[in-house]
Structure 1
Amino acid sequence: MEQTSPVQHALRMLFRDFASVLGAGPELVDDPAQAEIIVRQAVDADACPPYPEAFAIRFTAAAETGESVLTIVARDDLGFVYGLLYLSEKNLGIQPFWFWADQTIGKREAVDVPCIDYDAPPSKVRFRGWFVNDEVCLIGWKEPYPPSREVWLPVFEALLRCGGNMVIPGTDLPKTGVHAELAAEMGLWLTHHHAEPLGAEMFLRAYTGRSASYKEAPELFERLWREAIEKQKDDKILWVLSFRGQGDKPFWENDPSFDTPEKRGAMISHVIQRQYDMIREKVADPVACVALYGEIAELYKEGHVKLPPDVIKIWADNGYGKMVSRRHGNLNLRIPALPAQGDGGRHGIYYHVTFHDLQASNHLTMFPGSADFLKQEVEAAFAAGATEYVLVNSGNIRMHIYTLDILRALWQHGEMDTAEHLRQFTSRYYAGHHVEIAELYRSYSEAAIPYGPNADDLAGDEFYHHPARRIVGHWLQGRSSEPDPGLIWAAPGAVTFAEQVRRFEVRCEAGAAEWSAWLGRCNELIDHLDEEDRSRVIDHLRLQGILHQSGAEGFFWLCRSFAAASEGLYPQAFVHASQAMWSYQRGLQALRESEHGKWERFYSADWLTNVQSTVDNMDTLRRFLRMQGDSPDFFLWYKEYLMPETEKYIYLENTHRNPLSDDELALRLQQFFGV
Structure 2
Amino acid sequence: MALQAKDIVEIQMDALEHQGLGLAVNDLIKDLCKVMDIQGIFRKYLSNVKGFSIAVGTLSNPAFSEFLTNREFDFSNIDGKKEHYLIKSTGEEGRQLIIAGSDTRGAIYGIYDFSRSALGVNPLYLWTGHRAAAIESLDFSSISMTDGPHTFSYRGWFINDEDLLLGWTGKFDTNFQNNAFTKHAGYADALEPVMETALRLKQNLLIPCSLLDILDPSDEDLVRRVADRGLLITQHHIEPLGVFPKRVLRYWQERGDTEPLSYTKNPEKYEEVWRLYAGRWARYDNVVWQLGLRGMGDKPVWADDPYAPETDSGRGQLIAGAIAKQLEVITEAVGHNNFASTATLWMEGMELLKGGHLSFPQETMIIHADFGPTQMLGDSFYEVKREPGRQYGLYYHVAFWSDGPHQVQGTLPHKIHYNLQAAVQHGNTGYLVVNVTNVREMLLGTQYTAALGWNFELNQPEQFMQHWAAEHYGQEGCAGAVRAYQAYFAAFHSLDNTGYDGRMLLMDGMCRRLIIKLTAILQGQPFTKDEIQNKTLLAFDQATDFVAYYRKATEEALPKWDVALNVAYQALQGIEKERREFFTTNLLVQLSLIRGLYRAVHQLSNAAESVLAGFKKEEGHVRGPILEAAAELQQAAIIRLHAERGKWKGWYDGDVLLNLPDLIRQINECAGNN
Same fold (TM over 0.5): yes
User: What's the counterpart of residue 201 of structure 2?
Assistant: 162
Shift, 1:387, TM fit: 0.3
Q: Given the alignment of the two structures, is residue 353 of structure 1 paired with residue 398 of structure 2, yes or no?
A: yes
Question: Partner letter of residue 126 of structure 1?
Answer: S
The structure-2 alpha-carbon separation of the partners of 1:114 and 1:541, relative to structure 1 and needing over 3 Å to count, comes to: farther
- Structure 1 residue 492, shift from structure 2 partner: 6.7
2:19 is matched with 5
Q: Does 1:503 align with 2:545?
A: no
Deviates more, 1:27-36 or 1:600-609: 27-36
**2:493 matched residue in structure 1:** 449
Q: How does 1:224-243 map to 2 (within 5 A)?
A: 224-233=273-282, 234-243=284-293
User: By how many angstroms is 1:344 displaced?
Assistant: 4.6
Give the aligned partner of residue 583 of structure 1.
Answer: 632
Q: Secondary structure at the match of 1:88?
A: helix
Contact 2:607 2:625 (C-alpha < 8 Å) held by counterparts: yes
Q: Where in structure 2 are the equivalents of 1:116-131 lying within 5 Å?
A: 116-131=143-158
**Which residue of the partner structure matches residue 97 of structure 1?**
124
The reply to whether residue 561 of structure 1 matches residue 607 of structure 2 is yes
Q: CA offsets, 1:434-467, max 9 Å, x none?
A: 1111122233221111122333211111122122
TM-score normalised to structure 1 length? 0.86
Q: Does residue 311 of structure 2 align to residue 260 of structure 1?
A: yes
- In structure 2, do the counterparts of structure 1 residues 213 and 495 end up closer, same or farther at CA, with 3 Å as the change threshold? closer
Q: 1:86 to 1:264 in 2, by over 3 A?
A: same
Cross-structure match for 1:248: 298
Match of 1:276 among 304, 316, 327: 327
Match of 2:190 in 1: 151
| Residues 113 and 501 of structure 1, relative CA distance in 2, 3 Å threshold | farther
CA distance in 1, matches of 2:562, 2:363: 52
Q: How does 1:248-327 map to 2 (within 5 A)?
A: 248-257=298-307, 258-281=309-332, 282-320=335-373, 322-325=375-378
Aligned to 1:546: 592
The alpha-carbon distance between structure 1 residues 337 and 392, as it changes in their structure 2 partners (threshold 3 A), is farther
- Give the match's secondary structure for 1:594: helix
Q: Report the secondary structure of 1:204's partner residue.
A: helix
Q: Which runs of 5+ in 1 are unaligned?
A: 326-333, 625-661, 663-675
Q: Is the 8 A contact 1:297 1:337 kept in 2?
A: no
Instruction: Give the aligned partner of residue 645 of structure 1.
Output: none
Contact 2:522–2:670 (8 Å) recurs in 1: no
Deviations 1:42-81 (A, max 9, x none): 337421412122221232123xxx4432111223221221
| 3-state SS of 1:108 partner | coil
| Contact 1:354–1:395 under 8 Å retained in 2 | yes
One-letter amino acid matched to 1:37: I
1:512 counterpart SS class: helix
Partner in structure 1 of residue 426 of structure 2: 384
Match of 1:489 among 523, 535, 542: 535
- CA shift in 2, pair 1:491/1:534, >3 Å: closer
Per the alignment, residue 449 of structure 2 pairs with 407
Q: TM-score, normalised by structure 2?
A: 0.86
Residues 1:363 and 2:406 aligned together = yes
1:483 deviation in Å?
Answer: 5.0
Judge conservation of contact 1:444–1:518 (CA < 8 Å) in 2. Answer: yes
Residues of 1 paired with 2:605 and 2:521: CA distance? 13
Any conservation in 1 of the 2:291–2:341 contact (CA below 8 Å)? yes
How many Å apart are 1:493 and its aligned residue? 6.4
Letter in 1 for 2:91: A
Task: For 1:307 and 1:485, locate their aligned partners in 2 and report how far apart those are by CA, in whole Å.
Answer: 34
1:638 maps to: none
| Cα deviation, residue 120, structure 1 | 1.6
What is residue 222 of structure 2 aligned with on the other side? 179
**Which stretch shows the higher mean deviation, 27-36 or 442-451?**
27-36
2:440 aligned with 1:398: yes
8 Å CA contact 1:399–1:540 kept in 2: the answer is yes
Q: How many residues align?
A: 609
Instruction: State the alpha-carbon separation in 1 of the partners of residues 576 and 471 from structure 2.
Output: 16
Cα distance in 2, alignment partners of residues 336 and 74 from structure 1: 36
| Structure 2: runs of 5+ lacking an equivalent | 1-13, 60-64, 172-183
| Counterpart residue type for residue 348 of structure 1 | G
Closer, same or farther: CA 322–285 of 1 in aligned 2, 3 Å: same
Contact 2:94 2:140 in 1 (8 A): no
CA distance in 1: counterparts of 2:190 and 2:387, whole angstroms: 44
Tell me how far apart the structure 2 counterparts of residues 150 and 107 of structure 1 sit (CA, whole Å).
28
Post-superposition shift, 1:119? Answer: 2.3
Match of 1:670 in 2: none
The alpha-carbon distance between structure 1 residues 87 and 128, as it changes in their structure 2 partners (threshold 3 A), is same
Q: Secondary structure at the match of 2:599?
A: helix
Distance (Å, rounded) in 2 between the aligned partners of 1:543 and 1:78 = 36
Question: Which amino acid counterpart does residue 155 of structure 2 have in structure 1?
Answer: R
Query: CA contact under 8 A between 1:91 and 1:113: conserved in structure 2?
Result: no
Identity across matched positions, percent: 23
Distance in 1 between residues matched to 2:146 and 2:529, nearest whole Å:
59
Paired with 1:425 and 1:306, the residues of 2 have a C-alpha distance of: 42
Over 3 Å counting, the alpha-carbon distance change for 1:92 and 1:376 in structure 2 is same
Paired residue for 2:248, among 203, 217, 229? 203
The residue identity in structure 2 corresponding to 1:7 is L
The alignment status of 1:47 with 2:110, answered yes or no, reads no
Aligned to 1:134, the other structure's residue is in SS state coil
Task: Give the distance between the partners of 1:112 and 1:555, measured in 2 at CA.
Answer: 58
CA separation of 1:287 and 1:560: change in aligned 2, threshold 3 A: same
What residue identity is the alignment partner of 2:662? S
Residue 46 of structure 1 aligns to a residue whose secondary structure is coil
Preserved CA contact (<8 Å) 1:32 1:38: no
